[in-house]
């Protein structure tokens, strides 16, 4: 690590709780934490599945029982072998526990194209990510996993008028916030220039709960100051202090640390580490807008993909989704021919098709797929992995009533974000004049911004030179060195598309090899 990580230093990926048990000669041996509750349950009426995002396990000396929330958002990795099991919210803990450490190449074929895993996949063949709304039981060396039908996601379409949908969304969201009011005054609403965080903040204020401050993070360059500008307009109107947090002081350090914080499962969330570092020890509760944009603004919905879902054209749909990132040139530049043959596009398609089939029949199958995989396996890492040191992280858009309602609406209501815009405008008319971020504003790279990435290139060059030879065997190191050198010679040094996949591969190999 370089020395310039001052504004991300408080974020820790120190060992997380784990539990391991094995059956040997008729005796059960165990170590680790026998009882653990992570996240937060939001109790509902008797007989209803608890709301909230949580993970809980309990060991009575013979029987291990693990339960999670309906979305399976709080990470739980497990490896069940013959007569042994290891569980933890940390992939690294489980791999070091009882994994054979064999890489899952079809899973990696998806990962390096989509930026995250799908379903229950992880980088390792024998380590799995716990399914949503499930109970895992291990007893006498036998594993049983049951996914419950109670609390399953909606399968029917609602057909209110747009005006009714606006009223219903506003009322349901108000109730969701009422269920999640902070327990003390040490709470924070991170604020962007968009809709999701604004809706949370305005509803808290409407219910008489005003945070001591809001914070906005300056994104890595090239970026505009739109988030800062709009957040200041809103906080000034509300009379709330606004904390401006700079981007990571070292782009390289943030990218490297984020790989471990997100359990080697992808994300590209290094930009938020300064916020996480600022929150640690100062705030007990944080409100996160997870899934707001995808549920109520039509984010990432695509008519072509929806049509292929309806036609059940699975291979064509898989190719379309995997091609979104245009990753093939990157794969050719970063990885050796041997490694690329093991993560071939055909492997990715074959692994992705069964996951696509699981969402057939949903009211909006593309939304269902995106939520179950991108939100759950990628973006959800922000509140439930990167912010794991914060005692309570609320995600009100995942309130069961809010989620079920939005999930069941006709997708046309979300187009252009019109449903969310209308809901916020109707519920809080006194703030309707405050604009949202202007996405037409063009970002301009300054000399300081170019220097920011040149420093990251130098740090990456040093890291690559010091990495164990075995951990870099899958990389085209000569080409990487040449690319870094060429980029360092230019005065216009921008983001490095090759650094992240190389870092992910080296850190994964270090874990696999135990070095």
Q: Is the pLDDT of residue 390 over 60?
A: yes
Output the CA angle 316-319-322, nearest 5 degrees: 150
Q: Is the pLDDT of residue 122 over 50?
A: yes
- Beta strands 35-42; 51-59: pairing state: antiparallel
Sequence-ordered list of residues with C-beta below 8 angstroms from that of 510, at least 6 positions apart, any chain: 467, 468, 471
CA separation (Å) from 167 to 160, 329, 422? 10, 47, 9
Nearest CA to 3 out of 333, 327, 241, 250 is that of 250
CA separation (Å) from 75 to 17, 57, 63, 132, 214? 12, 13, 21, 10, 27
Sequence-ordered list of residues with C-beta below 8 angstroms from that of 152, at least 6 positions apart, any chain: 70, 133
pLDDT of residue 428: 99
CA separation (Å) from 442 to 221, 226, 355, 445? 12, 10, 37, 10
pLDDT of residue 9: 94
Residues forming a β-bridge with 284 = none
**Segment 447-455 mean pLDDT:** 92
Tens digit of each residue's pLDDT (9 = 90 or more) over 221-268: 888 989 999 999 999 999 999 999 999 999 999 999 999 999 999 888
Per-residue exposure over 370-396, b if at least 16 CB sit within 10 Å of its own CB, e if not? bbbbbbbbbbbbbbbbbbbebebbbbb
Tens digit of each residue's pLDDT (9 = 90 or more) over 161-191: 999 999 999 999 999 999 999 999 999 999 9
Phi and psi at 110, nearest 5°, equal -75, -45
Q: Is the pLDDT of residue 299 over 90?
A: no
Instruction: Please give the model's pTM, rounded to 2 decimal places.
Output: 0.96
CA separation (Å) from 67 to 164, 214, 259, 435? 36, 34, 26, 43
499-501-504-510 Cα dihedral, nearest 10 degrees: -90
Superfamily for the 162-294+364-431 domain = HUPs (3.40.50.620)
Residue listed under structure tokens 């809103």 = 234
| Maximal CA-CA distance, the chain | 72
- pLDDT band per the 50, 70, 90 thresholds, residue 1: very low
pLDDT of residue 236: 99
Residue spans of the domains in the chain: they are 19-104+112-147, 162-294+364-431, 303-352, 447-513
Nearest CA to 162 out of 431, 428, 415, 430 is that of 415
**Segment 54-64 mean pLDDT:** 98
Mean pLDDT of the chain: 95
206-209-211-217 Cα dihedral, nearest 10 degrees: -40
Give the SS3 label for residue 239: coil
pLDDT of residue 495: 66
- Beta strands 27-32; 35-42: pairing state: unpaired
Q: State the Rg of the chain over Cα.
A: 23
Cis, peptide link before residue 222, omega less than 30° from 0: yes
Neighbouring C-alpha atoms within 13 Å toward the C-beta of 404: 13
């Amino acid at each position: 690590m370089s020395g310039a990580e001052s504004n991300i230093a408080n974020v820790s990926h120190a060992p997380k709780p784990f539990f391991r048990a094995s059956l040997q000669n008729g005796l059960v041996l165990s170590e680790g934490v026998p009882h653990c509750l992570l996240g937060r349950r939001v109790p509902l009426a008797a007989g209803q599945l608890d709301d909230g995002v949580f993970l809980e396990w309990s060991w009575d000396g013979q029987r291990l029982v693990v339960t999670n929330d309906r979305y399976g958002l709080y990470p739980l990795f497990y490896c069940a072998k013959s007569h042994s099991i290891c569980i933890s919210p940390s992939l690294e803990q489980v791999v070091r526990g009882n994994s054979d450490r064999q890489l899952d190449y079809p899973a990696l074929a998806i990962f390096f194209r989509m930026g995250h895993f799908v379903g229950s996949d992880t980088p390792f063949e024998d380590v799995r990510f716990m399914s949503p709304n499930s109970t895992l039981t291990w007893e006498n060396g036998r594993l049983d996993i049951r996914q419950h039908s109670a609390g399953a996601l909606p399968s029917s379409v609602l057909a209110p008028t747009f005006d009714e949908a606006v009223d219903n969304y506003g009322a349901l969201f108000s109730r969701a916030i009422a269920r999640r009011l902070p327990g003390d005054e040490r709470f924070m609403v991170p604020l962007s220039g968009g809709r999701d965080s604004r809706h949370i903040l305005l509803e808290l204020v409407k219910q008489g709960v005003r945070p001591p401050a809001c914070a906005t993070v300056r994104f890595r360059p090239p970026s505009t100051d739109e988030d800062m500008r709009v957040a200041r307009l809103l906080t000034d109107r509300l009379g709330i202090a606004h904390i401006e947090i700079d981007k990571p002081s070292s782009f390289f350090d943030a990218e490297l640390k984020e790989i471990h914080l997100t359990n080697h499962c992808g994300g590209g969330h290094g930009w938020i580490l300064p916020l996480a570092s600022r929150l640690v020890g100062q705030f007990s509760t944080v409100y996160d807008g997870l899934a707001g944009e995808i549920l109520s603004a039509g984010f990432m919905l695509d008519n072509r993909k929806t049509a292929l879902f309806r036609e059940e054209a699975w291979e064509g749909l898989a190719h379309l989704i995997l091609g979104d990132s245009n990753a093939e040139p990157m794969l050719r530049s970063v990885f050796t021919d041997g490694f690329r043959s093991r993560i071939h596009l055909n492997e990715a398609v074959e692994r992705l098709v069964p996951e696509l089939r699981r969402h057939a029949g949903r009211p909006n199958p593309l939304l269902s797929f995106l939520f179950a995989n991108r939100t759950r396996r990628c973006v959800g890492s922000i509140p439930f992995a990167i912010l794991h040191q914060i005692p309570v992280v609320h995600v009100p858009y995942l309130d069961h009533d809010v989620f079920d309602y939005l999930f069941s609406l006709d997708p046309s209501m979300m187009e252009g974000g019109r449903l969310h815009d209308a809901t916020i405008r109707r519920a809080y008319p006194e703030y309707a004049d405050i604009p949202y971020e202007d996405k037409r504003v063009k970002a301009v790279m300054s000399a300081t911004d170019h220097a920011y990435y040149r420093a990251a290139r130098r740090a990456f060059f040093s890291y690559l030179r010091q990495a164990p030879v075995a951990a870099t065997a899958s990389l085209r190191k000569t080409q990487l060195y040449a690319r870094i050198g060429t980029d360092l010679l230019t005065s216009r040094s921008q983001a490095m598309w090759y650094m992240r996949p190389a870092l992910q591969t080296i850190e994964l190999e270090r874990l696999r090899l135990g070095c």
